[in-house]
Amino acid sequence: MRVALVRELGGIGSVELRERPDPTPSAGQAVIRVRGAGVGPWDVAIISGAFGRPALPYIPGFEVAGVVEAVGDGADVRPGDRVYANMGVAGGGFAEYALADADRLALMPQQVSFEEAAGLVVGGGTALDGLVDRGRLQAGETVLITAAAGGVGSAAVQLAAAVGARPLGVASQRNHDYLRGLGASEVFDYHAGDWVQQVRAAVPGGVDVLFDAAGGQTRDQAVRAVREGGRAIFLAGAAAQLGPGVVGESLDADVTRQTLEAIGRLVEAGRLRPQVEAVLPFEQVREALERVAGRHTRGKIVLQIG
């Protein structure tokens, strides 16, 4: 099979298309004939040596969708099933065949393409796990979402609206109408020097929840918008200082079969729409990674494979 392979952790330039033996499933695993693979900042970080210690050679790719080709004992899916899967930090998604754990895949929603399904796995899964399952976001609460136009943020805005919360999106000006279309009630530009004051003017007392997908300076500013006793969920490192009574949590999202099934139900109910900025052919894997590394994609970049 053809794979994108990294033999040394040397960044995007170290990714090469190579041939490798087809995988065979062990107990509890399924081999997926990959049709779409989502590309994320985690792929860029891992191949640059900035995240985790992958065994080399390494095949990037945390999220795929495709058709089950073969199953190991005890894996309760069947050849021919259309599934989407969380490959996790072990990767392996940028390949014609991916070896997935059966408890981290689910039947994909009917009305979406393979590329759309692949792009929902980490973004949708992280938003659901972080905001709803662990963040316990309630109807009527205000939630400030940074990097709101990105892969995770675009799902988080929709999920917050779906539970009846009031999503406030933080993004560049050019993404503001886009965020309103996803369900954001107010939008703020982190380039404005007074953007946090603008949030506090819109929500006197501060927001109930911060869902920070931006990290860095934006995160450190955003924590000042959280009300006393509020909650903060950090995806890209925690803030050093929190306001009085604010409970912070660094998320390590756990995207299981149950998470993916819940996402599927939200998609089928029309509450969560996949957001794909571009689909690139497998041969353009480096270009796809470069676009993600630029940090200004809207929704997802997805590779079309097979």
Footprint on this chain of ligand NAP (rule: CB under 6 A): 40-42, 122-123, 126, 146-147, 149-153, 171-172, 175, 190, 213-216, 218, 235-236, 251-253, 292, 295-298
- Which residue is it, tokens 């009305």? 111
CA atoms within a 13 Å half-sphere pointing along the CA-CB vector of 80? 1
Comparison of 66 and 125: residue with beta carbon closer to ligand NAP: 125
List all residues 6 or more positions away from 35 whose beta carbon is below 8 Å from its beta carbon.
Answer: 65, 66, 67, 114, 115, 118, 304, 305, 306
Q: State in angstroms the smallest separation of the CB of 26 from ligand NAP.
A: 26
Q: State in angstroms the smallest separation of the CB of 190 from ligand NAP.
A: 5
Q: State in angstroms the smallest separation of the CB of 164 from ligand NAP.
A: 23
Comparison of 1 and 45: residue with beta carbon closer to ligand NAP: 45
The C-alpha atoms of residue 141 and residue 69 are separated, in whole angstroms, by: 44
Q: State in angstroms the smallest separation of the CB of 172 from ligand NAP.
A: 3
Q: State in angstroms the smallest separation of the CB of 293 from ligand NAP.
A: 8
Comparison of 193 and 244: residue with beta carbon closer to ligand NAP: 193
Sign of CA dihedral 126, 128, 134, 139: positive
Comparison of 66 and 299: residue with beta carbon closer to ligand NAP: 299
Comparison of 25 and 167: residue with beta carbon closer to ligand NAP: 167
Comparison of 7 and 295: residue with beta carbon closer to ligand NAP: 295
Q: State in angstroms the smallest separation of the CB of 1 from ligand NAP.
A: 26
Q: State in angstroms the smallest separation of the CB of 256 from ligand NAP.
A: 13
Comparison of 88 and 264: residue with beta carbon closer to ligand NAP: 88
Token pair in block for residue 31: 């081999």
